[in-house]
């Protein structure tokens, strides 16, 4: 008999996509699953759509909570899940019909606590496969460094155009007994990167992690919002990273330390330059210059040249130059992205 898979879908104002999402789950060629639809206080017709399916199918369950965020919704699903394996699906995404069958076979074959796959990125203009690594492998073969390095730097070991990476909660199976044993849940206090931090602890405690190099999850690109993070939200992610490395200091290898330092500076400069509408105040600069985590790495030879120059500008209060440099780098990044998108749509 097939082992049961609990599919947890956080739902918030997803009326445009939810029906298609649920239908893609129902089309699986795997016969033993349950679907937990957790309504995070939707104000559109998402609740009606979810309740309709819960009424029609005895293995679909509807839960409601006041608007509290995806992390709380996923935790709610975990508390009610009865399956041997857990899969998370975003309400605006789709599943290919063989994802459950393929990932269950893989997690059983390799005796894993976690198995992950690649994805197909799609929007109205078309779709393209995105592989997170160059080939299939498991942590018993290569260790866990590949997984952790991509958690910190999305482009690390990524063989193609980077839209997303291994830190997402979807496109994976987690062994439920493993999550319960280590009390692994999403941090409800984080406003961003809850999934990435969750996977840091999951990857650390997993006996074995497998990456299966097939694109079985359909990731909708055109729903990505232009939401701008506040400095406090970005700082909270850095604090969560710091707490993890304090608990697991041996995980901070030389290579990971370099990636981590550059991520710190990326977050700090982005929080200053992207989330402040008009101009950086002296108070903001002083706040950055006196952050312990900033001062511990500004003179480090491992940081990227662009961050070393920006550190110099901060120390010398060159605000206008700093903003110009940052905007130039952002413009170059956007231009590169547009070129890649143009190439993708042509093919």
The predicted-structure confidence for 236-272, as pLDDT tens digits, reads as follows 888 899 899 999 999 988 888 888 877 777 776 665 5
Q: What is the mean pLDDT of residues 115-129?
A: 93
Q: Is there a single domain that holds both residue 17 and residue 99?
A: yes
The answer for residues whose C-beta is within 8 angstroms of residue 148's C-beta and 6 or more apart is 200, 203, 251, 256
Indicate if the pLDDT at residue 304 is higher than 90. no
Provide the pLDDT confidence category of residue 276 given band limits of 50, 70 and 90. Answer: very low
Q: Read off the pLDDT of each residue in 321-331 and give the average, rounded to a whole number.
A: 66
Asked if 123 and 222 count as a contact pair (C-beta separation under 8 A), the reply is yes
- Tell me the three state secondary structure of residue 170: strand
Calpha distance 115→10 (Å, rounded): 21
Are residues 132 and 115 in contact, defined by beta-carbon separation less than 8 angstroms? no
- Do 205 and 253 lie in one domain? The reply is no
pLDDT tens for 160-219 read 888 999 999 999 999 999 999 999 999 999 988 999 999 999 999 999 999 999 999 999
Task: Give pLDDT, residue 238.
Answer: 83
Residue 21 domain-assigned (yes or no)? yes
Any idea of the CA torsion for 123, 124, 129, 130, to the nearest 10 degrees?
A: -30
Q: What is the pLDDT of residue 76?
A: 98
CB neighbours (10 Å) of residue 257?
15
| Alpha helices per DSSP H over the chain | 18-26, 46-56, 70-80, 99-109, 139-142, 145-152, 176-181, 194-205, 231-247, 254-273, 282-289, 292-295, 305-315, 319-346
- Contact between residue 113 and residue 207 where contact means Cβ atoms under 8 Å apart: yes
What pairs with residue 116 in β-bridges? 172, 211
pLDDT(122) > 60: yes
Structure confidence at residue 197 (pLDDT)? 97
Are 175 and 276 members of one domain? no
- The owner of tokens 């993708």 is 344
Q: Based on the fold, state whether residues 136 and 285 are members of the same structural domain.
A: no
Does residue 258 share a domain with residue 109? no
Estimate to the nearest angstrom the gap between the alpha carbon of 246 and the chain centroid: 22
Gap between the Cα atoms of 340 and 345, Å rounded: 9
Q: What are phi and psi of 63, to 5 degrees?
A: -130, 145
Average pLDDT over residues 287-315: 53
Q: What is the pLDDT of residue 224?
A: 55
Q: What are phi and psi of 211, to 5 degrees?
A: -105, 120
Residue 66 has pLDDT above 50, yes or no: yes
Please give the residue that has the higher pLDDT: either 124 or 180.
Answer: 180
Q: Which two tokens stand for residue 283?
A: 């108070």
Phi, psi dihedrals of residue 138, rounded to the nearest 5°? -125, 160
- pLDDT, residue 239, reads 86
Question: How far apart are the C-alpha atoms of 134 and 159, rounded to whole Å?
Answer: 6
The reply to whether 258 and 172 lie within a common domain is no
* 83 and 215 both lie in a single domain: yes
User: What is residue 290's predicted lDDT score, i.e. its pLDDT?
Assistant: 47
Of 183, 198, 220, the last residue of a domain is: 220
Mark whether 283 and 215 lie in a shared domain: no
Please say whether the beta carbons of 88 and 8 come within 8 A.
yes
Total structural domains in the chain?
A: 2
Residue 73 shares a structural domain with residue 142: yes
Reply yes or no on whether the pLDDT at 157 is more than 90.
yes
Residues of the domain holding 291: 231-346
| Region of 29 on the Ramachandran plot (φ > 0 left; ψ -120 to 50 alpha; else beta) | alpha
Question: Is residue 20 over pLDDT 70?
Answer: yes
Do 263 and 332 have their domain in common?
A: yes
Bridge-based pairing of strands 33-40 and 60-65 is parallel
User: Which pLDDT tens digit goes with each residue over 70-85?
Assistant: 999 999 999 999 999 9
* Confidence check: pLDDT of 5 > 70: yes
Q: What are phi and psi of 97, to 5 degrees?
A: -65, -20
- pLDDT tens readout for residues 37-61: 999 999 999 999 999 999 999 999 9
Same domain assignment for residues 146 and 113: yes
pLDDT at 258: 82
CA–CA distance, 1 with 299 (Å, rounded to integer): 59
226 assigned to some structural domain: no
């Amino acid at each position: 008999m097939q082992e049961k898979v609990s599919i947890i879908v956080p739902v918030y104002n997803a009326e445009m996509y939810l029906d298609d999402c649920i239908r893609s789950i129902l089309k699986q060629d795997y016969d033993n699953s349950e679907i937990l639809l957790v309504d995070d206080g939707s104000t559109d017709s998402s609740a009606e759509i979810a309740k309709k399916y819960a009424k029609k199918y005895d293995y679909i369950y509807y839960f409601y909570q006041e608007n509290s965020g995806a992390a709380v919704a996923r935790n709610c699903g975990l508390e009610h899940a009865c399956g041997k394996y857990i899969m998370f699906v975003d309400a605006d995404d789709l599943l290919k019909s063989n994802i459950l069958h393929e990932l269950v076979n893989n997690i059983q074959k390799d005796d894993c606590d976690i198995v992950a796959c690649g994805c197909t990125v799609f929007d109205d203009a078309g779709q393209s496969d995105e592989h997170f690594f160059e080939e299939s492998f498991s942590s018993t073969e290569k260790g866990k460094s590949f997984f952790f390095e991509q958690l910190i730097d999305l482009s690390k070991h990524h063989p193609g155009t980077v839209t997303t990476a291994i830190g997402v909660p979807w496109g994976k199976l987690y062994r439920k007994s493993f999550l319960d044993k280590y009390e692994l849940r999403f941090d409800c206090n984080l406003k961003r990167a809850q999934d990435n931090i969750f996977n840091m602890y999951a990857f650390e405690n997993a006996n074995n992690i497998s990456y299966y190099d097939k694109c079985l999850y359909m990731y909708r690109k055109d729903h990505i919002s232009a939401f701008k993070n506040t400095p406090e939200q970005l700082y909270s992610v850095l604090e969560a990273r710091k707490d993890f490395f304090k608990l697991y200091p041996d995980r901070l290898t030389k290579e990971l330390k370099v990636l981590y330092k550059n991520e710190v500076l990326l977050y700090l400069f982005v929080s200053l330059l992207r989330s402040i509408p008009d101009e950086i105040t002296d108070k903001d600069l002083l706040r950055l210059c006196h952050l312990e985590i900033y001062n511990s790495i500004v003179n480090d030879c491992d940081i990227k040249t662009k961050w070393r120059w920006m550190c110099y500008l901060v120390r010398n209060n060159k605000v206008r130059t700093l903003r110009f440099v940052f905007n130039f780098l952002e413009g170059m990044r956007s231009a590169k992205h547009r070129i890649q998108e143009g190439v993708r749509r042509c093919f």
